Amino acid sequence: MIKKILSLILLISCTVYSEETIYKTYLGSIPVGEIKISLSEKKVTAEGSTYPYISWLYSYNFKFVMDGADFYLYERENEKEKKFDRKKIYEKKPWLPLIVEYIMYGKNSNSDLYPIKVEKKGSIYVIYPLKSKRVKKIVMYIDKSRFPLKIDIDGRYHIVLERSNVNLSD
């Protein structure tokens, strides 16, 4: 009996705490896909894809993994597959690591590799990627969740992410 109780306590204490949310993605005001962001201890995974009904026009899916200080992006655009390392991600998709860093730590760090300017105005958090040719600013609307309620990515295209749910498990 005692062995069972100790085993149960060990099992409960070894359970990994994780959180995840799904964002509906809009190009302007047109719904184009979904992004799921999952967090567990020091690892973040963001996966997204366009809706099947628009795949005849444009098909895109990706998987972004941030494990500690390392991160990678795997993407498939129409029929082309690509893998990006840290430097290439900041060149091509700077919004992704900046949003994930905010979700993970509640703030963003300025680095030599990727300088940014940050402004916080009440429940609005704005990131200006200073070296990006593709993204002018990222505006996050924050509530009590670690996942922003809404994210506006202003750049070559206007992309809006709206949180549809938050799941917590432990």
> What is the token pair recorded at 99?
């949003």
Counting residues of the chain whose pLDDT is more than 90, the rounded percentage is 49
Listed range (77-81, 85-89, 126-130) with the worst mean pLDDT = 85-89
Residue 41: how many CA atoms within 13 Å on its side-chain side? 5
Counting residues of the chain whose pLDDT is more than 70, the rounded percentage is 86
- Are 63 and 73 in contact by the 8 Å Cβ rule? The answer is yes
Asked if the model's pLDDT at residue 22 lies above 90, the reply is yes
Domains in the chain (CATH in brackets) are 17-164 (2.50.20)
Which pLDDT value is given to residue 88?
86
Q: Which helix (H) or strand (E) holds 13?
A: helix 2-14
pLDDT digits (tens, 9 = 90+) for 86-126: 888 888 888 998 998 898 888 888 776 788 999 999 999 99
- The per-residue DSSP string of 39-76 comes to EETTEEEEEEEE-GGGTTT--EEEEEEEETTEEEEEEE
Q: How far apart are CA 14 and CA 83, in angstroms?
A: 33
Which pLDDT value is given to residue 51?
94
Which pLDDT value is given to residue 69?
77
**CB atoms closer than 10 angstroms to residue 127:** 22
Whole-structure pTM value: 0.83
> What is the token pair recorded at 112?
């030599």
Q: Across the chain, what does the average pLDDT equal?
A: 84
149 in helix, strand or coil? coil
Which pLDDT value is given to residue 85?
87
> What is the token pair recorded at 70?
């390392």
**Which residues, 6 or more positions from 127, have their beta carbon under 8 angstroms from its beta carbon?**
98, 102, 108, 116, 117, 118, 137, 138, 140
Which pLDDT value is given to residue 169?
54
pLDDT digits (tens, 9 = 90+) for 37-78: 999 877 899 999 999 999 888 899 999 998 877 889 999 998
